Amino acid sequence: MTNHRLAPSGGRRTEGPPPGAVEEKLLRSERIQIERKTFTLSLRENPRGRFVRITEDVSGRHDTVIVPAPGLDDFLRLLTEIARTSAEIPYETPPPPPTEPPAEPSAEAPADTDAPKQS
């Protein structure tokens, strides 16, 4: 007997988690909005241990990084150092706009030679 059944679209569908998936327990979750990105940090636990899942959501597209709990102190230390460096280094100024305006037709420019002459 199998737990597979056809979905209305005709494709196969399984009930429950996909094969090989491990059940996770959510211990804590926090969300932060930075500019146009939303980050969700979730502390989770499964039979293999604890971990933090960091999910970035930009206009419906999701990217995820998982940090195992034993590495969180080192991860936080490096992130703190990078944040400190970012605060210490001044931002470069954006390049200035072009200084020369677009060329305009000169009053001394020759007349259009293809135009019919009027008498």
Report d(CA 72, CA 61) in Å as an integer. Answer: 25
* CA proximity to 65, closest of 75, 73, 80, 74: 75
CA–CA separation, 46 and 22 (whole Å): 7
- In three-state secondary structure terms, 56 is strand
H or E, element range at 64: strand 61-68
Domain boundaries defined on the chain: 23-88
Percent of the chain clearing pLDDT 90 (strictly above): 53
pLDDT, residue 19, reads 74
Is the CB of residue 45 less than 8 Å from the CB of residue 27? yes
User: What is the predicted pLDDT for the residue at 64?
Assistant: 97
pLDDT of residue 72: 98
**CATH fold group of domain 23-88:** Secreted effector protein pipB2 fold (3.30.2450)
Tens digit of pLDDT per residue, the chain (119 long)? 444 444 455 555 456 667 778 899 999 999 999 999 999 999 999 999 999 999 999 999 999 999 999 999 999 999 999 999 999 988 887 666 666 655 665 555 555 555 555 55
Q: What is the pLDDT of residue 106?
A: 56
